[in-house]
Each structure stands twice: as C-alpha cells, then as structure tokens.
C-alpha cells in the first residue's frame, strides 16, 4: 500500500510539472505505457515504492522523479520514471475546488524559508532573482503547486508541494534556473501579500568595502560583449544569451553589481531579438553593450579610489535625513510599464535647495490584483498622514525620512508627515522654475550626468510658459503635442503618447486647456536617443491643480455641452489649432553624430558577413563618417569611429558617440 507521504508528494507532479522535467512527447509515451498495462507495483512502504515499467525497475520516494533511480541508467528523466509517477499518482488524484487550490498554494508558500532560499540561491543568483521577480507576469494557484509565468520563459516555473527548492521545475537551463526559481518563489510570496525581501530601494546597502577586480573575468565579459556586437544584433544565438546570463550570476560578479545588471539587461534584448519581438530596441541594446564595454575597461584600469563607484551598489543606498525635510508637493502621475508593473509617483520640491524628491506606490506584474493605482493615490494613507492625493499638493515636514543619492524617498513605518498647509501651489518666484526652454538641458544634466556617471532616472521640472497654443495630434508619432512658448519666444513640444494611462491625460488637457490658459506645468524629462522628451504631469492654472493622468471628469464635463465637447476628441485634436507647428531640425553636428551612430548600428545589424560592405561602401563607409566628424571639430570621435573596423572598435566608437549625443540632448523645440 502506498503511504500518505508518497501519495502527497506525487500529487504535485501533474502533467504540466512533468513536461517541465521532460517534454510532451515523453509524457504521451508514458501515458500509453500506463494505458497498455506495462506497469506494476513491486513493493511499497516507508515513503517509497518500486514500480516495474516496461521491464525496468523504478525506485521512487518523496523527492520525485528527478531523484528517482531507474535500471535503464538514463541520465535524464526517462519515460520509465515518468510512467511510474503517472501509475502511482492515480491513488492521490482528487478533485480540488478553487478554495482548496488557494489554501493548498498558500500552505506551499507559507512553508518557504526565505533565508534558506537566499543561501540556496547564492549571492549572484539571489541578486538576479530580486530583479527578475518584477518580471513575473502571472501566478497560478493549485492545490499541489504554484505556477509562476515569466515573459522570458516559454513555460511557467512550478513550485511543487513538499519538493523543496531542488524540486522546483521549469525549462530554465543552467545557471538561469536558480535565479528564476528563486524569483518565482518571491513572486509567489508577494502574491499572498508578503513584502519582497531586500528589494532594490530597501534600506540596506550591501556594497562591499573593497572591489576585487578579476582581470580574466573582465576580459571574458569584454569578449562576450564583442560577440554581441558581432552577431547579437543579427543572429542573437541562444548560447550567447546563456553565456551572458551565466557571467552576470557568476561568483566573480558579486562585487560588480552594476556590470551584472547591465549584462542581464543585454540578455533581455538578445532574447527579444531572437524572438523577433516588437519590444526589441536596437539603439538601447547598442547603448547597453557600449556602456558595459566601457565599464569593463574602466574597472580593469581604473583608479582604485573610483572602483567602488564604478562597481555600483547592490541596493539603492538610503541615508537618514539629518533633520526633518521641508517639502512642498507639486503633483504626481499614474504609470504602467510594458512588463505590467503599475503605480503612482508623487513629486516634491525642497525649496531651500531646489532639489526634487519623489516617492512611489507600486505593484509588480501579477502582484496584488486588487491594487488600483488611482484608488491608492486617493485613499491609501502615507507616512502616518494622508493619501498621496493630499500630500502631493501640501506643504509638509517629513520626519524620519530616508533619501537615496538620486533623491528617492523610502517609506519605513517610522516616517511621519506633518501637514502645515494644504492645497499649496508652486511659487513662480522659485529660482528652479524654468522660463527659457534652452535651460531645460541644464536642469536635466544637473540630475543625471553623462556616460558611466549617468543615472537613468526621470527628472522633474517646473516650467512657466508665457503663452500656449491648442494641443494637436501627431498621427506619425501617435502623440498629443501641446505647444508652449517661453519668455524668449521659442516654442516647446510637450508630448503625451496615445496609450493608457496617458489617454486620461490627453482628455484632461483637452477639457482644461484653452488659448487663454496661464500658469505653470510640472513636467517630466526623459532622454530618447539624442533628444529630450518633455511630458506634462500637473497643471497649475487659475483653478485647482490638475494631475493629468489622475484626472476625473467633473459633472459639468459628463453632461450637456461638456459631454458633447468631449465626443470625437481624437478627430478634433488632429485638426486643432490655427497654427501648424513643425519640429526645429537638428543642427549639422547633431546630424553627423546621428549618422555615425546609425552606421555603427547598421554594421552590427547586418552581421560580420555583410558589415565590411557597409564599412567600405561608396559614400557610406566608416572613413567618410570619421572625416565628417573631423570637419565638425570632433577629431577625438573621428579617431574612434575610424577604428570601428572590428567589434571592440565598434563598441568603443559607440560609447564615444553615446556620450556626445547625451551631452547635446536638447528639448524638442517647434517653429
């Protein structure tokens, strides 16, 4: 008689779990063996059983089929082991209701020891798991297993009842398995409301006191990056993807978290390229590969005093504020990422220093289905005070706060906000208010930096237009464009993409902005290639402040003339405005930099077989672009581009061009 412990353990191995261990064809053959009566029970007892499967003896215990012994001596999970599980599983089969599934899954997750999981994963894989858990797209519950899906994996990761960490099954191969398995466990815990342990943005800083530089490891990373430049853009082979991931989670990457994170970002792009996914961004991949290559060279020959800064931090370092922060809320926005994470971010300014700080309420993909960004903004209390909808438009003193080097605010339970004034508006006399659009680049640089020193974070800024034009819709870019004029008479394009949640912002602009509107706008600055994108966040006009992505129509807009006005808004926006605007063309230097960048990218995308023809083609060769850079006074860049005849040279030239394009980022002006 098969005992209860063995029945319970085998119940977790449904067909989906067995497919993760083997393949569908093997499962079908095993089912046929069971149906044809090719199996019989030889003995059972004490948590184990011996089954004869098509003439082979299989010994199974509670560890499951992967640890089972079969006289066929197959190294992989053979059909005899699979058939034995199917044969024994019948005694454990039972119909489970949805409530039973949730209860069983909750028991599986509750039994997980997070500290043991971290030890089992290892430092590098644990760090990768903390990043990957936000990429979980779905968590499916059953009585004997929890299935966690990732966009990067074809099949879900399955956490099986009673099988421990080694019993987690998936199609993730090699060194990727531990990272994805740990990430699946963390995503499953979060599904039941458990706080993620030590996630980025936590209060602990695991940055080592010293950085161990392994030159051989850095050389290997550099060689892999050269492979990315040579074949990653054209062929994107799976072995290259796996090799890069293995480097990112190797023990030698423990003290180089910044490099490891870059490698994993490149892995994601290589996978998208191989899958021919629309999300693949060749410019982004070249930026990552070039920056990672420059980082390996800087680490290999850098000043020891700079190594800690170059290596980066495992966690964002939050330091306690010496005194209560005196802040004024200037608005906020709702957002959603392509991966499915969603949340709200509130922006605050410290008038004494002019520095911008932000805080966020968010949930990852598949986490907390009941979370609604707009509801959290309006009803969830923050800092032992009011919801963000109130705090983001109030003058507050924040005690016990912790802030990061990039001015993020953490929210430990001890933080307390005291509201001294509600419904506060920004002061036009603040020195940080931008009145001439040429100053936007300076405001962006001040908070981001360049090259290896750059931080990729959105930048907030207050602008004070002297006049506005009516918004119009750009069909080619699929964006709403709102032209605003500065004190010098130049027009700036404030843009909103035509997608949710920006659709609410577009409707809010149409309903609230007229030709006579005057006031200030909180905008968010981000870089897109060699240009800045300026997105409006909050309007400060004559009435109440309007957070565009969080705006709700009032009753006057829901009925009568207001409702009629809002009909067919897209058709109206396409023809809006008396004046037609066009983008100010880039300068000659910008065009030369963009052409040289495009040449490097073309060489990478065509692959080694055709790249030489692009380098030497009439009027399009590397030498022509180098000469153009020389003629525009960029001799150093010209020399780098001239040497871009191999993958290493291509990455070095791409990094130089990247820094130059960052340095020349300008706001999108109109005429």
- Looking at residue 99, its pLDDT comes to 43
N- to C-terminal Cα distance for the chain? 85
255 and 381: one domain?
Answer: no
| pLDDT for residue 95 | 38
Closest C-alpha to 647, from 290, 299, 282, 295: 290
Looking at the structure, do residues 475 and 563 belong to the same domain, yes or no? yes
| Cβ 460 vs Cβ 528: under 8 Å | no
Reading phi first (left if > 0) and then psi (alpha if -120 to 50, else beta), residue 318 is in beta
**pLDDT value, residue 14:** 85
Q: What is the pLDDT of residue 314?
A: 43
pLDDT band (50, 70, 90) for residue 386: very high
Q: Are the C-beta atoms of 67 and 24 separated by less than 8 Å? A: no
Q: Is residue 600 part of a domain?
A: yes
In terms of residue numbers, what domain contains 632? 588-663
Residues 643 and 524 in one domain: no
325-336 sheet: strands from edge to edge: 355-363, 342-350, 325-336, 394-399, 416-422
pLDDT tens digits, one per residue of 466-505: 999 888 888 777 788 899 999 999 999 999 886 666 667 7
Residue 364 lies in a domain: yes
Last residue of a domain, one of 311, 342, 363: 311
Residue 458 lies in a domain: yes
Higher pLDDT, 256 or 539: 539
- Would residue 390 count as lying in a domain? yes
Is residue 477 located within the same domain as residue 389?
Answer: no
368: left (phi over 0), alpha (psi -120 to 50) or beta: left
- pLDDT, position 419: 95
Instruction: In whole angstroms, give the CA distance from residue 377 to residue 332.
Output: 9
Q: Which pLDDT belongs to residue 315?
A: 42
Looking at per-residue pLDDT, the higher value among 414 and 664 belongs to 664
Residue 243 covered by a domain: yes
Is it the case that residue 361 has pLDDT exceeding 80? yes
432 in a structural domain: no
What is the mean predicted confidence (pLDDT) over 116-144?
85
Compute the distance between CA of residue 44 and CA of residue 38 in angstroms, rounded to an integer: 18
Query: Of 400, 413, 462, 453, which Cα lies nearest the Cα of 434?
Result: 462
Q: Which residues are 522's β-sheet partners? A: 462, 538
- In a domain? residue 428: no
Q: How many domains does the chain have?
A: 6
How confident is the model at residue 366, as a pLDDT?
Answer: 63
Q: How confident is the model at residue 316 (pLDDT cuts 50, 70, 90)?
A: very low
pTM, full prediction = 0.77
**How confident is the model over 580-584, as a mean pLDDT?**
87
Asked if residue 476 and residue 560 are part of one domain, the reply reads yes
> Any residues with CB less than 8 A from the CB of 389 and at least 6 apart, and which?
332, 377, 378, 550
Question: Which of 311, 345, 378 delimits the end of a domain?
Answer: 311
| Assigned domain for 583 exists | no
- H or E element, residue 539: strand 531-540
Residues 135 and 54 grouped into a single domain? no
Q: Residue 513: which CATH number?
A: 2.40.50
Distance CA 550, CA 505 (A): 7
pLDDT tens digits, residue range 152-198?
787 899 998 888 898 899 988 777 889 999 999 998 888 887 776 75
Decide if 178 contacts 172 (C-beta within 8 A): no
For strand 520-528 and strand 531-540, is the pairing parallel, antiparallel, or unpaired? antiparallel
**Domain end residue (candidates: 92, 120, 137):** 92
């Amino acid at each position: 008689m098969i005992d209860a412990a063995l029945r319970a353990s085998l119940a977790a191995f449904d067909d989906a779990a067995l497919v993760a261990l083997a393949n569908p064809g093997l499962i079908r053959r095993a089912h046929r063996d069971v149906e044809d009566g090719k199996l019989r029970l030889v003995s059972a007892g004490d948590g184990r059983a011996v089954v004869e499967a098509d003439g082979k003896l299989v010994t199974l215990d509670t560890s499951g089929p992967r640890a089972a012994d079969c006289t066929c001596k197959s190294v992989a999970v053979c059909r005899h082991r699979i058939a034995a599980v199917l044969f024994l599983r019948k005694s454990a089969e039972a119909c489970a209701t949805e409530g039973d599934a949730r209860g069983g899954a909750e028991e599986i997750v509750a039994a997980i020891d997070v500290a043991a999981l971290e030890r089992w994963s290892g430092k590098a894989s644990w760090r990768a798991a903390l990043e990957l858990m936000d990429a979980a797209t779905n968590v499916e519950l059953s009585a004997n297993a929890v299935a966690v899906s990732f966009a990067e994996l074809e099949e879900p990761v399955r956490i099986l009842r009673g099988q421990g960490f080694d019993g987690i099954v998936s199609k993730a191969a090699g060194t990727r398995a531990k990272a994805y398995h740990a990430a699946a466990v963390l995503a499953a815990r979060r599904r039941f409301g458990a706080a993620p342990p030590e996630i980025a943005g936590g209060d602990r800083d695991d940055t080592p006191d010293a950085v161990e530089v392994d030159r051989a490891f850095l050389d290997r990373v550099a060689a892999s990056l050269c492979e990315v430049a040579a074949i990653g853009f054209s062929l994107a082979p799976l072995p290259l993807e796996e090799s890069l991931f293995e480097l990112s989670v190797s023990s030698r990457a423990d003290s180089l978290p910044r490099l490891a994170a870059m490698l994993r970002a490149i892995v994601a792009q290589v996978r998208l390229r191989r899958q021919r996914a629309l999300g693949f961004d060749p410019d982004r991949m070249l930026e990552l590969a070039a920056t990672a290559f420059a980082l390996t060279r800087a680490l290999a020959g850098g000043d020891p005093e700079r190594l800690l800064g170059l290596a980066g931090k495992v966690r964002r370092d939050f330091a306690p504020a010496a005194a209560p922060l005196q802040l004024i809320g200037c608005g906020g926005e709702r957002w959603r990422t392509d991966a499915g994470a969603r949340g709200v971010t509130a922006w605050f300014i410290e008038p004494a220093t002019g520095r911008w700080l932000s805080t966020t309420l968010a949930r990852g993909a598949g986490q907390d289905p009941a979370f609604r960004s707009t509801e959290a903004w309006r009803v969830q209390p923050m800092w032992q005070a009011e919801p963000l909808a109130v705090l983001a438009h109030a003058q507050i003193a924040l005690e016990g706060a912790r802030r990061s080097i990039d001015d993020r605010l953490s929210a430990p339970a001890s933080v307390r906000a005291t509201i001294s004034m509600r419904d506060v508006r920004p002061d036009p006399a603040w020195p940080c208010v931008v009145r001439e659009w040429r100053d936007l680049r300076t405001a962006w640089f001040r908070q981001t930096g360049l090259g290896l020193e750059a931080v990729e974070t959105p930048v907030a800024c207050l602008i004070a237009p002297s006049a506005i034009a009516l918004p119009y819709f750009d069909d080619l870019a699929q964006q709403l464009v709102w032209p605003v004029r500065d004190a010098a008479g130049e027009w700036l394009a404030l843009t909103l993409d035509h997608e949710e949640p920006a659709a609410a912002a577009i409707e809010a602009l149409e309903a609230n902005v007229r030709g006579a509107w005057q006031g200030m706008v909180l905008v968010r600055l981000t870089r897109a290639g060699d240009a800045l994108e300026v997105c409006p966040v909050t309007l400060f006009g004559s009435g109440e402040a309007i957070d565009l992505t969080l705006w709700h129509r009032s009753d006057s807009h829901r009925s009568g003339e207001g409702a009629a006005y809002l009909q067919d808004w897209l058709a109206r926006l396409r023809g809006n405005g008396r004046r037609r605007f066009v983008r100010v063309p880039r300068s000659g230097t910008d065009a030369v930099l963009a052409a040289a960048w495009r040449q490097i990218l073309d060489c990478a995308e065509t692959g080694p077989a055709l790249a030489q023809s692009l380098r030497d083609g009439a009027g399009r060769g590397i030498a022509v672009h180098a000469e153009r850079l020389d003629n525009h006074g960029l001799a150093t860049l010209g020399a780098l581009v001239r040497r871009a005849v191999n993958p290493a040279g291509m990455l070095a030239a791409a990094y130089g061009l990247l820094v130059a394009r960052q340095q020349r980022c300008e706001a999108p002006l109109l005429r």
